[in-house]
Copies of this chain bind each other. A is one copy, B any other.
Amino acid sequence: MDIQPQNHTRCTELSQDKEFMESLQICLIDNQKANHLAEIFKALSDPTRLRIISLLLDNEVCVHVLESVLGMSQSSISHQLRVMRQLRLVRYRKEGRHVYYALDDNHVRLLFAQGLLHVEHEE
């Protein structure tokens, strides 16, 4: 992807190029969508939550096991799970005293994978 030089030299001119400005307005996502999207990415912006997701990629896992694999307190893991639950990144299934977590849908898996690609591409 190469940068396409604009035919304009001054911003005052650019701003007067109504056609270009209007095309930008169409590209611009609306506030509601931006906020919602930001929430999703924010949920993915914590190392602990990402580590949890990596464990849930191929497995259904209960909280206690997450606690022992991650070596963190049950409380903090539960907090993180709630965040992801509320955004429907994960879902859970109760069985007796246990709650088994899994990724909610394939979008989460794809987002995670795409992120990993970006990170690995940078190194």
Contact = CB atoms under 8 A, between A and B. Distances in A.
Given A11-B62, A93-B3, A100-B6, A69 B25 contact: yes
Given A9-B95, A46-B38, A54-B29, A15 B68 contact: yes
Contact of A65 (B15, B39, B46, B118): B15
Given A45-B45, A111-B111, A119 B40 contact: yes
Interface in A21-74: 21, 23-25, 27-29, 31, 33-42, 44-48, 50-51, 54-55, 57-62, 64-65, 68-70
Given A62-B14, A115-B37, A119-B37, A27 B55 contact: yes
Contacts of A36: 119, 122
A76 interface: no
Given A24-B65, A35-B47, A44-B41, A107 B100 contact: no
B119 A1 contact: no
B28 A69 contact: yes
* Interface core residue of A4, A23, A40, A70 (most chain B CB under 10 Å): A40
Nearest first, the 9 closest Cβ-Cβ pairs linking A and B are A42-B45, A11-B64, A34-B47, A107-B118, A41-B45, A41-B44, A29-B54, A38-B47, A34-B50
